A and B are shown apart, each in its own frame.
Chain A
């Protein structure tokens, strides 16, 4: 017989719940911190943590977005049947999917071709190796024979050149993604390296800030397309790569330089604001402790500016990724932008579908980059939430 005023469910609560619930909430919290918050209610639900509330959360964070995506797909399908020019038309979702499968197929084929190429080269190299061994044996018999010496040298050279020969095939979609990621990494790193010190100086010194502020305000809104020719001149004038340079090509540097010029502003401005808006109490602490200028910078100013600095870097990376696509197109840097442009120029019946695939890839990669920065930002922020 239960007392009417006592909720019987309370009595039947398992004893072990509090401990488990703590760990569940820790896991959920970690997910939220990693920017994967929409998984959290599933885990809480699986742990039996307030099912009603978790279901509501799931509806909000999962079901509604799925509905929105479905509505978008419907609109897209409708547009695909109606919108078309003489030579091109908007691909339907199904066509896009098959184009995506085609891209995968092509990449797979290329990978196989590459493997076969290297196997063939290895075989040739082994043949030359065998010749070299034979030549060496002959040389042991008659050490002074110049003809045998030349034969050995030729065999060794041939073997080395077979092994060193790279596979030259058309870049796959994933090679292009890789190129884009390398370009943004170079451009963004450069932007950070330039923007953070200048931002710190702006924040520390009012005079410096007043001096450079007009330049910042004028250059900040400039479009990447306007920067590109200027970067082009700089790179071609100052950078002379070896003819067989594969990695840091001029096109990559032009693209990266344009990304740098467009993406350094948010980092610069946020760093300046972070440094300038340091809590005067913290500066008083520095004064009472009589910290030197460098100690103030390292122990007080930089740590307190770090969260805003990372906010700026996150914005910068977002801007940089957007700029990159345009820069790739114009600089002919073999990244996603060039892929889109080339595919568009190509004008085959699959082109538009492949471009839509690239659009999605650009969006998803941009989203992942943003999440990455968000996680970093949360790790350096000291005010919000508990650290993991």
Chain B
């Protein structure tokens, strides 16, 4: 039996005529220690999916079984890292992490708990910023604090909800490697939600595209059989990587063309695709230039 199993999970928001299906019969099975990335357009219901697995909301139909038990509420062993960090602005880095530690390990001695906080913070290399408040931190440091808070709970399933999408390319690369290091050391099961196909290919064992909403469902999954540890620079010239990348992006673009070609049924906010179409045509692009801002209008030309 799978470690995490979603069977026929559907979720809609609203009621009556304004009822909008968000997720439609999603099924997924994951083994322990697996790293799965889910890619899709913004607004396709990725965060809803994460909230369902985390237990923050309940599915309309279908069920989620984690570690042999049905998910019916949040639990610390399913650690969720929020897209927008969700740090408490009046607490320091230490205070934010301590909130989680005190909640979970309240019975331990104060000394041991402080150690746990320090360990979690040092895991994301933030020890020098222990006494800082979120507003004094950069976006990357905030997200690392958020990761530290989640890691301090020792979750066996780590849910990363677009944790890096608000960060610049350099910071992304650093935190991606930190997450991979932690995963290698602690063997959590990880679900990463992202809109960045390269990030998914670099980090995950398996990539599942989410079709465009409303009523999103999973597209055909892709196994990433690239040896680990993966080398960013080498990957760019790896033929397997290039093929996988091309396939996934082609699927996503095709999705968009079918679902979103000016039809009014598409109630998803008309945001540009987060996967930059420019990437398909560019050849031999470097890692660090990936994030160059594409003008919003240019992707229309490509499509």
- A interface residue numbers (CB < 8 A to B): 279, 281-282, 284-285, 287-291, 295, 299-300, 303-304, 306, 382-383, 386
Contacts and interface: CB of A to CB of B under 8 A. Distances in A.
A304 B103 contact: no
A289 B76 contact: yes
Contact of B56 (A288, A299, A382): A288
A303 B74 CA distance: 23
Contacts of B75: 290
B239 to A, nearest CB: 41
Interface string B75-88: 11001101010101
A383 B82 contact: no
B74 A288 contact: yes
Contact of A383 (B76, B100, B104, B135): B135
A371 B90 CA distance: 23
B76 A285 contact: no
Contacts of A290: 73-76, 103
Interface of B: 54, 56, 73-76, 79-80, 82, 84, 86, 88-91, 99-100, 103-104, 133, 135-136, 153
Given A289-B103, A290-B103, A299-B99, A382 B90 contact: yes
A284 B103 contact: no
Interface of chain B: mostly helix, strand, loop or mixed: loop
12 contacts: A279-B86, A282-B88, A285-B82, A288-B74, A289-B100, A289-B153, A299-B99, A300-B88, A303-B91, A304-B89, A306-B90, A382-B135
A281 B103 contact: no
A338 B230 CA distance: 82
Nearest to B80: A288
Contact of B76 (A284, A288, A304): A288
B129 to A, nearest CB: 15
Instruction: Tell me which of B56, B75, B86, B104 has the highest count of chain A C-beta atoms within 10 A of its own C-beta.
Output: B86
A233 B212 CA distance: 69
A281 B86 CA distance: 6
B90 A303 contact: yes
A386 B136 CA distance: 8
Contact of B103 (A279, A282, A291, A383): A291
Contact of A281 (B79, B84, B91, B104): B84
B89 A383 contact: yes
Contacts of B103: 289-291, 295
Instruction: Tell me which of B80, B99, B133, B136 has the highest count of chain A C-beta atoms within 10 A of its own C-beta.
Output: B99
Contacts of A303: 88, 90-91
A289 B56 contact: no
Nearest to A303: B90
B227 to A, nearest CB: 34
A386 B56 CA distance: 34
B74 A304 contact: no
B88 A284 contact: no
Given A289-B76, A291-B103, A295-B103, A284 B86 contact: yes
Contacts of B56: 284, 287-288
A288 B54 contact: yes
Contact of A304 (B80, B90, B100, B104): B90
A282 B104 CA distance: 18
B253 to A, nearest CB: 32
A284 B86 CA distance: 8
B74 A287 contact: yes
Contacts of A383: 89, 135
Contacts of A300: 88
B89 A285 contact: no
A303 B91 CA distance: 9
Given A289-B153, A304-B88, A304-B89, 9 more contacts: A281-B86, A282-B86, A284-B82, A288-B54, A290-B73, A290-B75, A290-B76, A299-B88, A306-B90
**Which 7 residue pairs spanning A and B have beta carbons closest together?**
A281-B86, A382-B90, A303-B90, A382-B89, A289-B103, A288-B74, A287-B74
A282 to B, nearest CB: 6
